Amino acid sequence: MSEVRVAGVGLTSFGASPNRTGRDLFAEAADIAFDDADVSRSDVEMVRYGNFMGELAEHQGHQGPLMAEAAGVSAPATRYESACASSATAIRDAVVSIRNGESDVCLVGGAERMTHLGTAGATEALAIAADDLWEVRAGVTFPGAYGLMATAYFDQYGGGKEDLAHVAVKNHENALDNEKAQYQREISVEEVLEAPAVSEPLGLYDSCPISDGAAALVLVSDEYAETHDLAAPVAITGSGQGGDRMALHDREHLARSPAADEAAVQAYEDAGVTADDVAAAEVHDCFTIAEVLAIESLGIVDRGEGITAARDGYTTVDGPVPVNLSGGLKAKGHPVGATGASQLVELTHLLEGHHPHSDAIDGDTVVAHNAGGTVASCVVHVLEVVA
């Protein structure tokens, strides 16, 4: 079975680019990735692309071949849709294909164009990742759903809004040196607590922004890397995927994420590591409570301890296991189809020493957690320095 190496990565700036198309954004990310990889586009044997709302945002379906063309690649191409976990799902499929010997070179990634829809339009488009019959028609939006999850967590484990505020403050601080981040400014706990409510107990600064952007990776087999003398020391050594019921009222748990639990177990077993080996993580913090749930599912902290991890300094830049050194979705931004791939871009830079916070980690094993909806789907990847 072939090992999957990250030969090159590319990322656009995240933020408001209302006049750029999705294909334009992905072309930029792919160009950067190919330049980084020193791999010929003619060697690409498949394109795996993540996008969530293309039909609504750009009146464009069938985006796989469209994005292959935009990237200058002539190869079979498929678009993957799994809500906010779309590009991580695409990456997982590419990993399986390379391991199985079906291909040696794959272009993977994702993009989303959202800001031109406005807040109301983007909120409506995002809502289709929830259960239309039982949630959307009843007026449940994702801020409302995650507000319910936060309340359930507080009821079961304790904690409160000030604990969540520390998550937001941490991630904004981490984004200060990230030139690709949407928000590169500090915020205080007081600002978070005094901000307008979005859906109690969540406020404005507990929520990620609406974003445009794209991310791309060139993945290769270890045989290809060796034959072409590529410097590709980072490998995707573990991959896992989990699922849960779509609607919150059908779930056994609101204060935990079984889909993420399952994905993490699979990914760690696949890589042959444990949570104790993890030096840093990029997790899906679409809302501050989502980071709390994620780090518990990943085993970075025990159940019920995630709520105070940022406040206690455990997940800060100088803590034992820094989380979201990129700024996370909260401050870096969340162009939905690009998010999962962007996490692996950030972690690759971190391991290669090209990240502003590379000196903050102690170890060569990191993990990415990308969730869809209210974590009805989740993909976890383990990355390691292998040579």
Handedness of CA 368, 374, 375, 376 (dihedral sign): negative
pLDDT above 80: residue 2: no
Count helices and strands (H / E) in the chain.
13, 11
The residue-averaged pLDDT of 60-76 equals 97
208 noted as active-site residue? no
Could you say which of 84, 208, 286, 378 is catalytic?
84
Instruction: Give me the catalytic one of 284, 334, 357, 381.
Output: 334
DSSP-derived letter for residue 356 is T
pLDDT digits (tens, 9 = 90+) for 30-67: 999 999 999 999 999 999 999 999 999 999 999 999 99
Digit-coded pLDDT (tens) for 206-251: 999 999 999 999 999 999 999 999 999 999 999 999 999 999 999 9
pLDDT band (50, 70, 90) for residue 260? very high
Return d(Cα 110, Cα 213) in angstroms, integer.
9
Mean pLDDT, the chain, rounded, equals 97
Pairing of strands 280-282, 365-372: parallel
Comparing CA positions, the residue from 9, 68, 11, 78 lying closest to residue 42 is 68
| Residue 284 annotated among the catalytic residues of the structure | no
Residue 198: how many CA atoms within 13 Å on its side-chain side? 26
Asked if 377 contacts 82 with a C-beta cutoff of 8 angstroms, the reply is: yes
Whether pLDDT at 146 is above 90: yes
Q: Sketch out the chain's domains with CATH numbers.
A: 4-117+209-385 (3.40.47.10)
Question: Is pLDDT of 305 > 90?
Answer: yes
Phi, psi of 34 (to 5 degrees): -65, -40
Q: What is the pLDDT of residue 387?
A: 75
